[in-house]
A and B are shown apart, each in its own frame.
Chain A
Amino acid sequence: MTPIDRMSELFRFLQADPVARARAGQSPHTIIHRQNKAVLRFFPARGPRQGAPLFISMPLINTWTIFDLLPERSVVAALTAAGIPVYLLDWGRPGPEDRGVRLDDLIDDLLPRAMDRASRHARSEGGDGALAGLGYCVGGTFLSLRLAHDPGPISTLALLAAPIDFHASGRLAAWASPDSFPLDDLVDGLGNFPASLMRTSFQLLRPAGQVAKWKGLYERIEDPGFRQLWAAMEQWSEDGVEFPGEAYREYVRRCYFDNALITGGWTLGDRPVDLGRARIPAVAFAADGDHICPPQAAFGLARAWGAPTQTRQLKGGHVGVCVGKALPAALIAWSQEQAE
């Protein structure tokens, strides 16, 4: 393909209807519980059952479809095909009326209720109600806090690119410093923290990444699989979700300013929460090219968690790791290890 052909192919591709290019979230599932904007989705196992059903806590700042981006790049499809039923907590899209939602509302009310409904549903499906837990990014940070306080029906925890040692988050930690980051002004002025601002800050973490993205598309424009994945990723990253204002204020203050998961002093309601008191086994998965949650930030779990903890590194970036083939295989292997 000559450079001219390549460029014309690229323009043709970019002019095409984006909906026709990629459609995420297509794995068959049912909604079994709702609270405010949050939705608990159930993906039944498609093969002989193995291991405990998996309860997934997604990040607040993006849509859940990254775990079901394309049929051949879907984490939930791979897990259900391996016989693991999946309960996925999608936090939904907060509106302006949710600016007062606090972290306690999410971690101490919404999350345990969703875990309870998932467990009840698993019992009604013939299981014993025990679940395995998986948290991705911020969803993992929240899940670890909840499970350290009270694991409820969850017997094992896996975290994927979930920051625990926030002061090891590299450039993001430096930016979110009380000296330069006007946290209170932003929350008081904007209400919910806008998705566009979040996306811009993530893109600025690696400015050359934007050019590399287009270069990659130009170089592989003749590969239909790559084109489809590129479009799906692009659509997903443009489709951000706002962070509820008060929850964002608490999150940045406790996590980035105080690093409270490591230094201690976190409370749920008026009860202190200490990761060191956790009693269920855990594993921290990190992506080697992650610039949002570098491996050292994710592996902080091994230092803070009170029960046996493993650390495993996967190839990819913060988002790319979700569409690679290594993640489902690693999760299935972890599930099998825990079942033995």
Chain B
Amino acid sequence: MTRSTSPFDQADIDLGTLSQDLYQQWESAMTTWWDQVLDSPEVLKASGQGLSTLAQQRRRYEEQVDSNLQRLHLPTRTDLIQVTRIATLLEERLLKMEDRLLEVQDQLVAAERETVQARIDAAEARIEQREHLAELQARLDRLEGNEPEGEPAPKPTRKPPSRRAPR
């Protein structure tokens, strides 16, 4: 039987655990270093100045490209932005009209519901009136002796009043 000559085997070292430990140590050290850098007011100020310079340069570049295109009588980025902006404004106006139309539609639906309810109420009132008249007629007939006493006129059946639909 041959014995391993690897120093790791002889020292009984698990390479997997070792690499995990190394990674964790490296991660912890790196995090500490990054934390110091990223939380440092000097670094933040310097990166802010860097960003500011970058943004100003970008602006100057855009302006330069625009003026070159203008000199060549070609549409510039600003022109395209203006045209697209006009399209967006037109869409906004259309959407406002759509809002208004939907509101009118809501009002129409509510008005229609109210009209139907009013017609139902009127029809019910008319039926009630007719029943009342029939009752009066029956009492009149009784008074005039047209009907035998003790046999009252049949009471007209009344429908329960309709519920008003919620508006």
Contact = CB atoms under 8 A, between A and B. Distances in A.
Find the residue from B34, B48, B58, B59 having the highest chain A CB count within 10 A: B48
Contacts of A189: 52, 54-59
B55 A185 contact: yes
Interface in B57-85: 57-59, 77, 80-82, 84-85
B112 interface: no
Contacts of B41: 179-180
Interface string A169-208: 0010011010111100110111000000000000010011
B118 interface: no
Interface in B110-138: none
Contacts of B163: none
Contact of B27 (A35, A180, A212): A212
A92 to B, nearest CB: 12
A339 interface: no
A97 B85 contact: yes
A197 to B, nearest CB: 8
A185 B59 CA distance: 10
Contacts of A180: 41, 44-45, 47-48
How many chain A residues sit at the interface, stated as a range, is 20 to 34
Nearest to B56: A189
Contacts of B107: none
Interface in A108-142: 113, 116, 120
B23 to A, nearest CB: 7
A211 interface: yes
B158 to A, nearest CB: 33
B44 A36 contact: no
Contacts of B34: 207-208
B8 to A, nearest CB: 15
A100 B95 CA distance: 19
A320 interface: no
A215 interface: yes
B102 interface: yes
B30 A113 contact: no
Contacts of B104: none
A207 B31 CA distance: 7
A185 B56 contact: yes
A189 B51 CA distance: 10
A175 B99 contact: no
A95 interface: yes
B38 A113 contact: no
A208 B91 contact: no
Nearest to B99: A113
B102 A120 contact: yes
Contact of B30 (A97, A182, A207): A207
Find the residue from A174, A185, A188, A189 having the highest chain B CB count within 10 A: A189
B84 to A, nearest CB: 4
A25 B88 CA distance: 26
B27 A211 contact: yes
B49 interface: yes
B12 interface: no
Nearest to A185: B52
Nearest to A37: B88
Nearest to A98: B88
Contact of A96 (B23, B49, B81, B92): B81
A186 B52 contact: yes
Nearest to B45: A180
Given A36-B91, A96-B81, A97-B81, A208 B56 contact: no
Contact of A95 (B23, B54, B57, B84): B84
B88 A97 contact: yes
B39 interface: yes
15 contacts: A36-B88, A36-B92, A97-B85, A113-B95, A174-B39, A180-B41, A180-B48, A182-B49, A185-B51, A186-B51, A186-B52, A186-B55, A188-B59, A189-B52, A189-B58
Given A177-B44, A185-B55, A211-B27, 12 more contacts: A97-B88, A113-B95, A113-B99, A116-B99, A171-B39, A179-B45, A189-B54, A189-B57, A189-B58, A207-B34, A208-B27, A211-B30
